[in-house]
Structure 1
Amino acid sequence: MLMPGFGAQRVPMRVRLFIALSLTFALAPLLVPAVEPATTGNVTPVALLGLIASEALVGAILGLMARMFLLSLQFAGAAIGMLIGLSNTPDTMIDEDEPAASLTTLITLTATVLIFLTELHWEMLRAVVDSYGTVPVPHQMAANFGLVKLVDAVTDGFMLALRICSPFIVYSLLVNLLFGILGKLTPQIPVYFISIPFVLAGGGFILYFTSAEFLQIFIVTFSQWLQRL
C-alpha cells in the first residue's frame, strides 16, 4: 500500500490486491510459527482485532519509511527543475495523482525502476519478515519507537535530497549572482529574458553529467538503509 513501486497510485487497485494476497500466501509458511502462539488459547475477538491493528500499523510504518526516500527524491527533482528553470512545464505524474514537472517524473520513475532492477524489493519483503522478530506479535509496538524510526527515515531522506541537489544549488547561486551583476552593469538590457537560455543550457549540461551519479547515490543510500532496518 505504501512501499515504492508496489503502492504507486497508477497501479490498478485489483493488481495491488492480488500482490498483497500472493505475498500473504508466500510468506505465511515463514510467519505462522511466530503468529500462531498469539492467536491460540483464550483469545477474545477484541484482542485479535487489537493484534490486527498493531500489525497493520507496523507494516504501515515500514512502508512509510521506505516511501520517505522516494518522496525525498521527488522533492529533489522538483528543486532541480526549479533551480535550472524547468519547473514551468507541469506534467502528469506516473506514480502519483498530482501534476509535477516532467523532470521530476523522469527522475522518480527511473528510481522506481532501478529499485526493481537491483532487486531491492526483495529487501523490503525481508524487512517485513524480520519485523516479526523485532516486534513480536503478542507485544504492541511502542509509539516512540515508530516515531523515532520515521524521524530517522525523514532525516536520511532529506539529507539524500540535499546531496543530490547540492551541485544545482551552487550552480543556481553562481549564475543568478553573475546575471544580477550584469543587470546592474547594463540596466537597459532585459537580462532576465536573455539569461533563461543560458541557465537552461548550463543546467542541462550539469544534469547530463550528474544524473547517473545521483541515481546511484539514491540506490546505494536506500540499500544501506534497508540493510540497517
Structure 2
Amino acid sequence: MDWLNDIPFFLLVFVRITCFFIPVPIFMMRTIPNIYKIGLSFFIALIVSLSIDHSPIPAFTGEYLVLVLKESLVGLGLGFIAFITFSAIQLAGTFIDLQSGFSMGSMYDPQSGTNVNLTGRFKNMLATLFLLSVDGHHLLIQGVLESYNWIGVGALVPSFTDGRISTFLLETFEHSFMIAFLIAAPIVFILFLVDVILGIIGKTTPQINLLVVGFPLKTGVYLIVMFLLLPGFFLILTTLFSQMFESVEDMIRIMGAA
C-alpha cells in the first residue's frame, strides 16, 4: 500500500506545522483549544503532504529522528520570529504603564497565561483584532507553507550551526525594541512632563497633596493622549505587521540557504 510509505513524510510535515502554531501570534492563545490547533495542523499537513513531490523517507531510524528534530526547530523558529515582532506591542504597553502608574494593576491574561499590564493587554487585543481584520492569520499560514519551497523536508539546515539564525534573532529583537519604544514614546514623554509639572507645583505650593491630585491627573492625561494617538497606533501596526511578515520571509530564506 503506497499510502503507508507516505506516513513518515506526513509526520514530518505535521511536526513542522504543529510546532509553528505553538509560538505564532493568534494561534498561540490559550483560549483556542489545543484540539482545534492539532486538527488544523493535521488537515494542513495532509494537504501539503499530498501536494508536494517527495522521495520515500525511511522511518524509525537515527536519520529520521534528526529530521524530526530539524522540522521541530524550523517550525518553532518561524513561529518565534513572528512572536518576537508581535511582542513589541506588549513591551510598549509595559513602558507606558511604568510611567503612568498602572503597572501596579497588572492582571492575569488567559490568552498568554502570564500577568500583563493593562495598557499592554489593551493594545495587544487591538493588535490581534487588527491582524485578523487584514487576514494576517492567513498570511502567517501562507508563510509556513511557503517554507516548503525553500526548506525541504528531507534536507538539513546548515544555518543552525553557522550563527546566521542567532544573528538574525538578535537583529529582530533590536528592531522590535525600537518599535516598542516608538509606540510608547509619545505617551511616556507627555506623562514625564506631567511629573515635572507636579514636581514644580509641589515645590512652589507645598500645601497641595500631590498624592491626591497627581494620580487622577496623570490618569486623565493618559486617557486623553491614548485616545488622541489611537489612529496613529494603527498606522504603526501596519508597519509592524509588514515587518513581521518580512521577518518570517527572511527567516525562511536564511534556513533554506545552503
TM range (shorter): 0.7 to 0.9
What is the CA distance between 1:2 and its match in structure 2? 0.9
TM-score w.r.t. length of structure 2: 0.78
Q: Are the counterparts in 1 of residues 84 and 173 from structure 2 also a CA contact under 8 Å?
A: yes
Measure the CA separation in 2 of the matches of 1:93 and 1:223. Answer: 26
- Answering whether residue 36 of structure 2 is matched by residue 4 of structure 1, we say no
- Answering whether residue 165 of structure 2 is matched by residue 146 of structure 1, we say yes
- Answering whether residue 40 of structure 2 is matched by residue 19 of structure 1, we say yes
Q: Are the counterparts in 2 of residues 77 and 104 from structure 1 also a CA contact under 8 Å?
A: yes
Measure the CA separation in 1 of the matches of 2:214 and 2:60. Answer: 70
Structure 1 unaligned residues grouped into runs of 5+? none
SS in structure 2 at match of 1:162: helix
Measure the CA separation in 1 of the matches of 2:60 and 2:224. Answer: 64
SS in structure 1 at match of 2:114: coil
Measure the CA separation in 1 of the matches of 2:228 and 2:108. Answer: 26
Match of 2:65 in 1: 49
SS in structure 2 at match of 1:99: strand
Identify the match of residue 217 of structure 2 among 189, 195, 198.
198
Q: Are the counterparts in 2 of residues 111 and 219 from structure 1 also a CA contact under 8 Å?
A: no
SS in structure 2 at match of 1:87: helix
Match of 1:189 in 2: 208
Cα 1:113–1:28 change in 2 (3 A) is farther
Measure the CA separation in 1 of the matches of 2:47 and 2:175. Answer: 31
Identity %: 21
Q: Which amino acid aligns with 1:196?
A: F
Q: Are the counterparts in 1 of residues 85 and 240 from structure 2 also a CA contact under 8 Å?
A: no
Measure the CA separation in 2 of the matches of 1:57 and 1:141. Answer: 12
Count the aligned residue pairs. 224
Cα 1:147–1:196 change in 2 (3 A) is same
Q: Are the counterparts in 2 of residues 91 and 102 from structure 1 also a CA contact under 8 Å?
A: yes
Match of 2:180 in 1: 161
TM-score w.r.t. length of structure 1: 0.88
Question: Runs ≥4 in structure 1, deviation > 3 angstroms?
Answer: 133-137
What is the CA distance between 1:44 and its match in structure 2? 7.0
Measure the CA separation in 1 of the matches of 2:81 and 2:44. Answer: 20
Match of 1:67 in 2: 83
Measure the CA separation in 2 of the matches of 1:173 and 1:51. Answer: 53
